[in-house]
């Protein structure tokens, strides 16, 4: 799981263009959306949905479905390990 978390962090930094950030700057359990933590927004959520589909073969039906999955990097990693098709 730790390996997958690190991999996801690297991908998140790249796809969301989080300039100057390293995986160490992202807390595994901190909220990704909202006012705290990474403070990502709805467009970031769409980018993460593309990331899941492209890199792990996971298709989310709609943007709302991302809410639970993208709570933190850890919840995202757990979801990926359970549902990945590649």
Partner 1 sequence: MAGSLVVTGMGIISGLGTGKDKTLQALFAEKSAVGPIKHLQTTHTDIPVSEVEMTDEEMKTALHIPQSQLVTRTPLMAMIAAKEAIQQAHLQENKPKRIAFINGTTVGGMEKSEQFYLDFLGNENHKEFIAAHDCGAGTDAVADYFGIFDMTTTISTACSSAINALIIGANLIRTGKVDAAVVGGTECLSKFHLNGFNTLMILDRETCKPFSKNHVGLNLGEGAAYLVLEKAEAAQLRGVQPLCELNGYANFCDAFHQTATSPNGQGPYLAMQGALADANLQPSDIDYISCHGTGTGNNDSTEGIAITRVFGEHIPDFSSTKAFTGHTTSAAGSVEAVISILALQNNFIPANLNFSEKMDEVDITPVTKTKRKDIQHVMNNSFGFGGNDSSCIFSKIK
Partner 2 sequence: MDIFIQSAAQISIQNPLCDDWFENPIAHTEGYNRSIEPDYKPFINPMAARRMGKLIKRAIATSISAKQSAGLEQVDAIITGTGLGCIENTEKFLSAMVNEGEQFLQPTYFMQSTHNTISSQIALNQKCNGYNCTYSHRGTSFESGLSDALQQMLLGRINNALVGGHDEMTPDYYNMLGKIGYWKQGELSEQILRQSSSKGSFAGETSVALIVGTNKTEHALCKLRDVDLLYKPSETALQDAVQRMLQQNNLQPSDIDALMLGLSGDCEYDAIYTNFANAFGKNTPIAWYKHIFGESFTAPAFGVYAAATCLAKESVPSHLLHNQKNEVKSPRNILLYNHFQNIDHSLILLSKC
Q: Which residues bind partner 1 (CB under 8 A)?
A: 41-43, 46, 49-50, 62-63
Nearer to partner 1, 17 or 62 (CB): 62
Tell me 41's DSSP state: -
Tell me 24's DSSP state: G
Taking the complex as a whole, the smallest distance from the CB of residue 54 to partner 2 amounts, in Å, to 4
Q: Are 42 and 48 in contact (CB under 8 A)?
A: no
Binding mask 41-60 for partner 2 (x = CB under 8 A): --x--xx--x--xx------
């Amino acid at each position: 799981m730790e390996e997958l978390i690190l991999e996801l962090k690297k991908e998140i930094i790249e796809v969301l263009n989080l300039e100057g950030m390293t995986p160490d700057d992202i807390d595994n359990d901190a909220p990704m959306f909202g006012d705290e933590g990474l403070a990502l927004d709805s467009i970031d959520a769409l980018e993460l949905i593309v990331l899941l589909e492209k890199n792990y073969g996971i298709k989310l039906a709609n943007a709302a479905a991302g809410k639970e999955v993208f709570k933190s990097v850890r919840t995202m990693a757990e979801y990926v390990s359970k549902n990945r098709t590649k």
